[in-house]
Amino acid sequence: MTKEENSLEHIAIIMDGNGRWATKRGLPRSMGHKKGAEVVKEIVRAAGEVGVKFLTLYAFSTENWQRSKDEVDTLMGLLRQYLKSDLQELQENNVRIKFIGESEMLDADIVSAMRKLEIDTAQNDALTLCIALSYGSRQEIVNAVKKTAALVKKGDISVNDIDIKMFSDMLYTKSIPDPDLLIRTSGEQRISNYLLWQLAYTELYFTKTLWPDFNKDELVAIIKDYKTRERRYGKV
Ligand code: IPE
Ligand code: IPE
Ligand code: MG
């Protein structure tokens, strides 16, 4: 009997290695981010083509605010450009966009462009592109605990109502299924405060490829590897 292939609904990616890509070429780190932003577009298209329903991209972590002002400004500039330029392509490809993270730390014009893009694409249903921006998983979990505690205090729920499903719905990722596959580029083998709750049974794939060199062919090869894995969820 042949083994059944794993289904694949949601891919999450830690897009890492932009800086090293640029440094290797004697370029400023900003050039790595610029090339990285082009790769984002290619991979969003590819995700639609391979038929996954959810793609979650780690674009900027809460810890990334500690980088130099120059680098943060570059990244926010690229983000502004993306927010302005991408609506047409998202609509053509039937992509719904959603942002997760601590939006209070972002400039007001960026937040309003994000909200507008979410509203303008809300009816699209081929692919949900979830962008983790100013995102930290521990902060997300602490916020969820606070929300839950407030409901208990108000008397809306009792302590015994708190379960895995209810708590998951308190996270930014409410109504998004857990990732089936996590890919991290650049050779680092760590999670860096990404989706700690949601990755409980996700298959992990680490590639040495730097994000600006990542492409559809490699994505397809990684998916092929994922399909051969045995997901046991603690059973035998
Ligand atoms: C990923 O590339 C982009 C962000 C974290 C915003 P890096 O900027 O971390 O690149 P490296 O890891 O320094 O090469
Ligand atoms: C993780 O990459 C965050 C993003 C890709 C947005 P980092 O480069 O910030 O992670 P560390 O510092 O290597 O763990
Ligand atoms: Mg990095």
Rounded distance from Cα 5 to ligand 1 centre (Å): 33
Q: Which residues pair with 183 in a beta bridge?
A: 13, 205
What's the whole-model pTM score?
A: 0.97
pLDDT range class, residue 2, cuts 50, 70, 90 = low
pLDDT of residue 4: 81
Please compute the mean of the pLDDT values over residues 209-223 and round it to a whole number.
98
| 234 backbone φψ class: left, alpha, beta (φ>0; ψ -120 to 50) | left
The 8-class DSSP code of residue 55 comes to E
Q: Ligand 1 pocket, 229 CB below 6 A?
A: no
Q: Is 16 in the pocket of ligand 2 (CB under 6 A)?
A: yes
The question of whether 193 is a catalytic residue gets the answer no
Ligand lying nearest the CA atom of residue 210: 1
Q: From the CB of residue 117, how many other CB atoms can be counted at a distance below 10 Å?
A: 22
User: What does the block give as tokens for 97?
Assistant: 């966009």
Residue 108 token pair: 């007001």
CA separation for the pair 171, 176 (Å, rounded): 10
Give the mean model confidence (pLDDT) for residues 189-196.
98
Residues that place a CB less than 5 A from ion ligand 3: 16
The pLDDT of residue 3 is above 80? no
Residue 215 is among the residues annotated as catalytic for this protein: no
For the record, the structure tokens of 198 come out as 């949601």
Rounded CA-CA distance 90/155 in Å is 42
Instruction: Encode pLDDT of 121-147 as tens digits.
Output: 999 999 999 999 999 999 999 999 999
Averaged pLDDT for residues 161-175: 97
